[in-house]
Amino acid sequence: MVERRPVASVLFAAGRGVRLRPITEVVPKAALPLLDVPVAAWPLSRLATLGAPVLVNVSHGHGAVADALAPFGDIEVSLELPEPYGTAGTLAAARSLFGERVVTCNADQVSDIEPGDVLQTHGRLGAPATAAVRMVDRGADLIVDGERAVSFVDRRRMEPMPGAQFIGMAVFERRVLEDLSDERPLGLAEVLLRPLVERRQLAVHVHSGYWRDVGTPGDYLRGSLDLLEGNAPPPPVPWPGTISEGEGGRSYVGPGACVNGASLGAGAVLLRSCNVGRGARISSSVVLPDETVPPGVTLKGCIWAGGSAVAT
């Protein structure tokens, strides 16, 4: 019989990473390295502070994701094949593991949000569910009144508007999950968040600190540069490589990376075991692990993946 925990947590790491292609054809999204630390290490290390193993759902590239995350927390892997169950589908499948409530978080984000703070807000407001949000001028997912969501915004069908943007962390009381269908895939917004908003049962925790979803090549590059410049929360481990100060700014060279006399400008990020040809010039760009950049190539504001430059 599975022991119920007072608080359980789930890290959603099974996404295919369609918006990140072709990068995610080289590295699965949750294992995507930010200065050689997998992006999911940030939310995983924070969920681990709750004192119980973190359930991590995996699907595409599941072996690489599980191996990348193992050093950053006590995890239990939920393998979803042949296709992911969807975020709500994962919660439905894992209901028997949860205690009275569950904390959920997306794997593809860097943030300084603490799950304990969201839980505190959840307990104070007494709602069936609480979503972490940030206030935005454009791109809102929710319209809020005080500390409750009063309207759901479908960004796929509506013009961008001001309001609250969901930032991937939420708390659900177990009773909210009881009636979830066993149909798969099930999306969190469609079957949980929207109905809760319509019933005025979704509280919000407003986060004013750092948050970045790295779900597109542009955001992945900006997140890498934020970390390089010290403008984002540091990882739960020391950087594996070396950050150097140059005349124009900082650069990063990962373990086993070969520079070969290339010129590294501000924002050059060379990840583990990559090889950069002589005479190459790199600035504000990321070279993925084990990649080879030919001699004389100039990279600026892009990502080198799969043998070519990916525009951001």
Instruction: Report pLDDT for 280.
Output: 95
pLDDT in tens, 168-179: 999 999 999 988
- How far apart (Å, rounded) are the C-alpha atoms in residues 134 and 163? 8
Kindly report the backbone phi and psi dihedral angles of residue 154, in degrees, each rounded to the nearest multiple of 5, phi listed first: -90, 100
197 has a pLDDT exceeding 80: yes
pLDDT in tens, 13-22: 988 878 888 8
- How far apart (Å, rounded) are the C-alpha atoms in residues 230 and 241? 15
pLDDT in tens, 89-108: 999 998 888 888 999 999 99
- Stretch (H or E) spanning 149: strand 148-152
Instruction: Report pLDDT for 2.
Output: 44
Instruction: Report pLDDT for 193.
Output: 92
Percentage of the chain surpassing pLDDT 90?
Answer: 67
Q: Note whether 171 and 54 are same-domain residues.
A: yes
Q: Note whether 206 and 105 are same-domain residues.
A: yes
Residue 307 resides in a domain: yes
Which residues, in sequence order, are CB contacts of 242 under 8 Å at separation 6+? 252, 253
Q: Note whether 180 and 271 are same-domain residues.
A: no
Percentage of the chain surpassing pLDDT 70?
Answer: 97
Boundary (domain end) residue, out of 198, 213, 228: 213
Which residues, in sequence order, are CB contacts of 116 under 8 Å at separation 6+? 49, 50
CA distances from 228 to 62, 221, 243, 245 (A): 28, 11, 7, 10
Residue 234 resides in a domain: no
pLDDT averaged over the chain? 91
Q: Note whether 79 and 126 are same-domain residues.
A: yes
Residue 263 resides in a domain: yes
Q: Note whether 248 and 205 are same-domain residues.
A: no
1 has a pLDDT exceeding 60: no
Q: Following DSSP, what letter does each residue of 20-84 receive, concatenated?
A: GTTGGGTS-GGG-EETTEETTHHHHHHHGGGSSPEEEEE-TTHHHHHHHHGGGS-EEEEE--SS-
Task: Tell me the pLDDT band of 7, cut-offs 50, 70 and 90.
Answer: low
- How far apart (Å, rounded) are the C-alpha atoms in residues 260 and 288? 16
Instruction: Report pLDDT for 311.
Output: 86
Q: By the 8 A CB rule, do 121 and 205 touch?
A: yes
- Which residue range forms the structural domain that includes residue 275? 240-311
The token pair at 156 is 């796929």
Q: By the 8 A CB rule, do 246 and 228 touch?
A: no
- How far apart (Å, rounded) are the C-alpha atoms in residues 204 and 152? 13
Task: Tell me the pLDDT band of 83, cut-offs 50, 70 and 90.
Answer: confident
Q: Note whether 103 and 244 are same-domain residues.
A: no
Q: Note whether 254 and 116 are same-domain residues.
A: no
The token pair at 240 is 């594996």
Taking residues 102-120, report their average pLDDT.
Answer: 96
State the CATH number of the domain containing residue 165: 3.90.550.10
Residue 218 resides in a domain: no
CA distances from 237 to 108, 145, 151, 273 (A): 18, 39, 40, 19
247 has a pLDDT exceeding 90: no
Q: Note whether 169 and 305 are same-domain residues.
A: no
Q: What total number of domains does the chain contain? A: 2
The token pair at 154 is 């479908």
Distance of CA 172 to the CA centre of its chain: 19
**Beta strands 148-152; 142-145: pairing state:** antiparallel
pLDDT in tens, 128-180: 999 999 999 998 999 999 999 999 987 776 677 899 999 999 999 999 998 88
Q: Categorise residue 11: left if φ over 0, alpha if ψ from -120 to 50, beta otherwise.
A: beta
Q: Note whether 34 and 129 are same-domain residues.
A: yes
pLDDT in tens, 35-51: 999 999 999 999 999 98
- How far apart (Å, rounded) are the C-alpha atoms in residues 287 and 177? 42
Residue 227 resides in a domain: no
Instruction: Report pLDDT for 300.
Output: 96
Q: Note whether 190 and 273 are same-domain residues.
A: no
The token pair at 107 is 């794997």
